Amino acid sequence: VWALPADAAAAPGEPKLFEGHAKPVRALAFTPDGKTLASAGDEGVARLWNVAEGKEARSIAAHAQPVLA
């Protein structure tokens, strides 16, 4: 979610870089347990992220238009 140098190692509690969207992100939401982050935006793809690992868990490309919420 934050722009960090590519060589920055994220320790627990520090910001992590989630890379994957090719266009601007317009919506973010955490699951109640805080383990998964959902993101979506102008490319029409919703992505689910494993917060602990900072890696994409799944992508859902089901929209022809931007996802705003």
| Residues in Cβ contact with 40 at an 8 Å cutoff, skipping those fewer than 6 apart | 25, 26, 27, 46, 47, 67, 68, 69
What is the pTM assigned to this prediction?
0.74
pLDDT value of position 63: 80
Higher pLDDT: 69 or 9? It is: 69
pLDDT in tens, 6-59: 655 555 567 788 899 999 999 999 999 999 999 999 999 999 999 989 899 999
pLDDT value of position 9: 56
